[in-house]
Each structure stands twice: as structure tokens, then as C-alpha cells.
Amino acid sequence: AIGFYNPAKTTNAWVRSRPTTIVIGNHVFFK
């Protein structure tokens, strides 16, 4: 994974548009 974010705390459209790799707890990891 390249990075991760907490979907409850981000409104960044670019981050949200990334293909999700895995979700652990409250964080979404993406490629």
C-alpha cells in the first residue's frame, strides 16, 4: 500500500478515489 487515511476525517476526493487495498480499523489503505 502507498498510503492510508481515516475516511471519517478526510474529504479529499483524490484520496477517496484511490483503489482500496484493505481496511484495518478506521483506516483505509490504498495503492
Looking at the whole model, is its pTM more than 0.75?
A: no
More confident residue, 1 or 5: 5
Cell numbers for 26: 478506521
What is the tens place of the pLDDT at every residue in 12-28? 888 878 888 899 999 99
Phi, psi angles (nearest 5°) of residue 17:
-85, -10
State the pLDDT at residue 25.
Answer: 93
Domain ranges of the chain: 1-31
From edge to edge, which strands make up the β-sheet containing 20-24? 3-5, 27-30, 20-24
pLDDT of 11 above 90: no
